[in-house]
Structure 1
Amino acid sequence: MQDYLKQICTAGEWDDVQITTSLLASLVGVSPSTSSEMIRKLAAVGMVTHRPYGAVALTDAGRSVALRMMRRHRLVETYLVAELGYTWDEVHDEAEVLEHAISDLMLSRIDAKLGHPTRDPHGDPIPDADGVVQRPDARRLSLLEPGESGIIARISDEDPEMLRYFDELAVALDRPVTVLRRLPFGAGTAIALHGPSEVTVDMGDLATRAIWVTRA
């Protein structure tokens, strides 16, 4: 139940999407029938609302549980990178296991050890102990027009291989970027990465959609 509630919350965190049972099945990795059965159970205990063939939405109680799980997951990811030498493409699956195993005391010790971080290694906001989330006002890099600049605030962790690709390009949180031009025939976008060393790269649409930026 915790995994389902967390997925419903995170799926709509950065995008305005309709959470359906079929989408949820894909996100959790189960069959549509299994997803539908779990939604019925969650609705029965007051965690979600759902009409047949309609969207699934969290109740206040469901959102509270989801935010607690998001906090656990993202603090564990941050700890694995900061203290145990994991790379950002390795931590998701580990955190999926550990978020259910650690105690509240251990979680609070991890939070204190890290200095109470507000975001995880991918830029996703970490809810505080009261469930308050401070999400940056960011939009996809793919939505910027040529000449517009931004600062990288979030990078999707959906595809570990893409994270390794971004490592090769030195794409990282807080790095300034500028959209230079659209490449012809839908070939992608030319991007300037600013910093100690200025780099110009050609990115495909999937890559630019995976990066969120705040205003420069």
Structure 2
Amino acid sequence: MAGKNEGGDKVKRVKVCLVGEQPVPNMLPIRHYRPNQVILVGSEKTKPVSEKLRKVLENEMNVSILPVDPYNIVDIKERLKEQLSNITYQAEIIVNVTGGTKIMSYAAIQVAQEFESKIVYLQSEKSQSKLYQYQFENSELLLLGTEIIEEALTIDEYLRIHIGSYGKRKRDENLFEQNVLKALRPYVSEPAMIRIK
């Protein structure tokens, strides 16, 4: 579904991401497609990964987390269909099946077929990210094409999606300098001349 709706507004993109333990396979396609809305589908185990992704993306787009039982096809399908049925605007739905469990991928592909959505899978190897794009046509899954993703993450984004917030901790501030000063003090005739900046 692409183009303009009846009101003349540009069609919005909704990205459904199956969240596994690695955040990059979801983050790169999000950067590539630049959706208006992201639905992070994950388990209790991968909730920390979903939360970190949400925190990085929430200032740029609408992000929601959809908890599912990662091994229950019926649960995954019902929750995902309910979430997608609640979209009140014309949207191009793109389902990334790279992350999550195989069961999650299977359920998401079935829902994508029902909603006539594009399905994507990210293959990363040899410092290259290749995006496979599929869509159902008359109940048959077709490969629409592949493309190399040029988008990259900033160091800040990479750290935040892996470890969350980061930076100097108050108690560790100037720790290196303090240790150097402590080691040099007995050998310096004028210790007042050494300051920690």
**TM-score w.r.t. length of structure 2:** 0.24
For CA contacts below 8 A with separation 6 or more, give which structure has more relative contact order: 2
Structure number with the higher strand fraction is 2
**Which protein shows a greater Rg?**
2
